[in-house]
Structure 1
Amino acid sequence: MPVTVSADALEGFIRDIFEAAGVSADDAAAAAPSFVWASLRGVDSHGISRVPRYVEMFGSGVANPRPAIVIDDAAPGVAVVDADFAPGPVALTQAANLAIEKARTQGVAVVSVRNTVHTGAIGYYVSRIADAGLVGIGIAAGSPMMSYEGAVGASVATSPLAIAVPGTGDKPAVLLDMASSLIALGKIAQYKREGKPLPEGSATTADGTPTTDPELAKIPTPLGGPKGSGLSLMFELLTSVLVTAPILTKYHAGEKKHRQNATLIVLDPAAFGSAEEFAANVDATIDTIHGLPKAEGVEQILVPGERSAGTLERRSAAGIPVGDKLWAELVETAAALGVAVPEAA
């Protein structure tokens, strides 16, 4: 049976683990909410389940617990953040804050991040932007782990896309958060941990043989075939190549160092007209979608982000469920670092 832990207790637990692993107090405090945000919304593959892996990356030198982050802020609406292999939640949270500040002045801002490790739940950063009343768009690229249409083996990254539009009234932000693959690697690990078969067509073995066995699955397949692999390629060009930090060419030439790059785009609705009218039209558009004729067997038509908002409401009240295997892993990680474990129900 899974244990249940409150969001506040888990956030403090993650913060303590990161600090014990060598991360500064400020960076640990910046990173911890991103994991809890994902778990609260049911995105468990990018939530607290990632914490032990981050500790491993700190220990192996893949991730830098004390990065010297450098920001090139020469252009008014543009900035490039060199993360020095900081954890993604540290670098991207800083980038989101900078992008919000710039967009409030310029109307639009583009902030790119290079040389980070595991971006984390990219929806978290655009949600922060939407919470500030702005529109957020985020894309990321990384090492090849997904097949490319027509190729065998790991060819491109499972590059994600997230778009958040501020909510209105009692409505949550409209949040699209998706990978360019049919399934993320973190989801495969989650299926493996839970002993469940993968959805048909979502992954292959290393040699390209389709499989639903999470023990054998190594390579996710692209969403929509050439559409998903094409998106991944374009995200590599608009993140990695744009900031002179290409990943694919170096990886396929033999340089296997783990790193990721990302770009955040922020739009201030007020710069395009009336922010109030924009909010009213967003509200009306959502109502229009909700009012569409329902297909047989459908109880409710949802817009992106509503399902996870419902999970957020439930888990905020009842606590976050943590599977037995993951909880044992977190307890073991904490014990190795001398960190106290929060009480679980």
Structure 2
Amino acid sequence: MSRVKSEDERQYLENVFDKLGFTKENGQLLADTLVDADLRGISSHGIQRLDWYRRMIKDGTIVPTREPKVVRELPGTVLVDANQNMGQIAANLAMDKVIEKAKKVGVGIGVVKNSNHFGIAGYYARKALRAGLVGIALTNTRPLVLPTNATQAFLGSNAFAFGFPASPHPFMFDGATSTVASGKIQLADKKGEKLPGQWVVNKDRQLVNDPREAEDILARAAFSDTQIGGGLLTLGGTDVENSNYKGMGNSIVVELLTGILAQGSISADTVRGKHDFSQFVFAFDPSFFGDPDKLKADATAMLNRIRNLKHVPGKTIWVPGDREYKNLANNQKQGVNIDDKTYEEISQIGQELGVNVPAKI
């Protein structure tokens, strides 16, 4: 692992996205989403995604010159067509519209169609938080996840993020509805680390701990119309006794609010013909229900009670968001971590595009 200054990473990414044909504003947004992920220690959705983005631009899956547009809207709802551009750009537009509506009528709902990968879901929920609102963001993905008792991937890893005002930082849950996001498998493969826990199974629904084998399984599930079998497990792991059907249910909810509601592809069908993800963003004004300062104080008190419960010696009770905000504070000072394989990738991209690579510190 190496560290680079976050401002150097940001400048590098802005330069790369400029070379790849994005507008200055869109390139800055894309860079911000990746740097934000790395600063928060969510490396699976940081700069290590750049090589994948570039490959999708090369094969026409992503078209940087097509601007997202609003298809229709009402006082509390909006539908955005990503127009085959990056999901970050369309989801950001949708959340801006949703925030505007929530400020006027108390609630806003936005759906994005014809989209692509949109980075970390929490990025958009935090945007609502900064506006004094409660925020939610969801996305479907390629088919990576096996429903309960299935041996064939069908559902997406389908991220869900929820943010609520609190101190010293907001409550911020941001995670996949599978045991892990596929990006963590990619990172483990790059680092040569064995997979812990119940993450991936093969066509016989047997656990796989070799990251390269797991990557091959996920690649076949995500990019092949002919299913061989295997994939990510839902929350709850391999067994019904551990309530893995609840993880499946969570993932289906996201499918309904994204691919189905957007009248786009469900995760299972993104491998056929047109590639399109869908997103769902939501925000509401908590002040309708009570004094916002009291709501924030009450949420803070509850979260602190959880943090201070009796616990296993040597362990810490982390409330969702605690690790990420701690990482943010540390990495802003120390620089962000980039694994060696990713650093090789961004060095090669920099060389090909004539962009200076961020120096190691």
Structure 1: distance between partners of 2:306 and 2:193: 33
Contact 1:159–1:235 (Cα < 8 Å) also in 2: yes
Structure 2: distance between partners of 1:166 and 1:89: 23
Structure 2: distance between partners of 1:249 and 1:293: 44
Q: Paired residue for 1:220?
A: 232
Q: Paired residue for 1:155?
A: 154
Q: Paired residue for 1:129?
A: 128
Q: Paired residue for 2:281?
A: 264
Contact 2:156–2:268 (Cα < 8 Å) also in 1: no
Contact 1:136–1:165 (Cα < 8 Å) also in 2: yes
Q: Does 1:329 align with 2:345?
A: yes
Work out which of the residue numbers 181, 186, 189 in structure 1 matches 2:178.
181
Structure 2: distance between partners of 1:249 and 1:331: 34
Q: Paired residue for 1:141?
A: 140
Structure 1: distance between partners of 2:293 and 2:35: 31
- Offset of 1:88 from its aligned partner? 1.6
- Offset of 1:273 from its aligned partner? 2.2
- Offset of 1:257 from its aligned partner? 3.5
Structure 2: distance between partners of 1:302 and 1:341: 35
Assess, with a 3 A threshold, how the Cα gap between structure 1 residues 249 and 196 changes in structure 2: closer, same or farther. closer
Q: Paired residue for 1:198?
A: 195
Write the mapping of 1:28-43 to structure 2, written as runs, cut at 5 A. 28-43=27-42
Structure 2: distance between partners of 1:325 and 1:148: 32
Q: Paired residue for 2:76?
A: 77
| 1:108-150 CA-partner distances (Å, limit 9, x unpaired) | 1111111111121111111121122211111111221111112
- Which 4+ stretches in 1 moved above 6 angstroms? none
Q: Paired residue for 1:293?
A: 310
Q: Paired residue for 1:62?
A: 61
Aligned-pair identity in percent equals 30
Q: Does 1:234 align with 2:253?
A: yes
Amino acid at match of 1:330: I
Structure 2: distance between partners of 1:83 and 1:70: 7
Q: Paired residue for 2:225?
A: none
Q: Paired residue for 1:311?
A: 327
Structure 2: distance between partners of 1:236 and 1:246: 9
Q: Paired residue for 1:111?
A: 110
Structure 2: distance between partners of 1:256 and 1:142: 15
| 1:260-316 CA-partner distances (Å, limit 9, x unpaired) | 111011011112221122112112212222232223432x32211001111111111
Q: Paired residue for 1:19?
A: 18
What runs of 5+ residues in structure 2 fail to find an aligned partner? Answer: 218-230, 237-243
Q: Normalization by structure 1: what TM-score? A: 0.94
Q: Paired residue for 1:277?
A: 294
Structure 1: distance between partners of 2:348 and 2:75: 47
Work out which of the residue numbers 336, 339, 342 in structure 1 matches 2:355.
339
Structure 2: distance between partners of 1:344 and 1:297: 33
Over the residues paired in the alignment, what is the CA RMSD in angstroms? 1.6
Higher deviation after alignment, 62-71 or 309-318: 62-71
Q: Normalization by structure 2: what TM-score? A: 0.90
Structure 1: distance between partners of 2:50 and 2:150: 33
Structure 2: distance between partners of 1:206 and 1:117: 27
- Offset of 1:207 from its aligned partner? 5.3
What runs of 5+ residues in structure 1 fail to find an aligned partner? Answer: none
Count of residue pairs the alignment pairs up = 339
Contact 1:109–1:265 (Cα < 8 Å) also in 2: yes
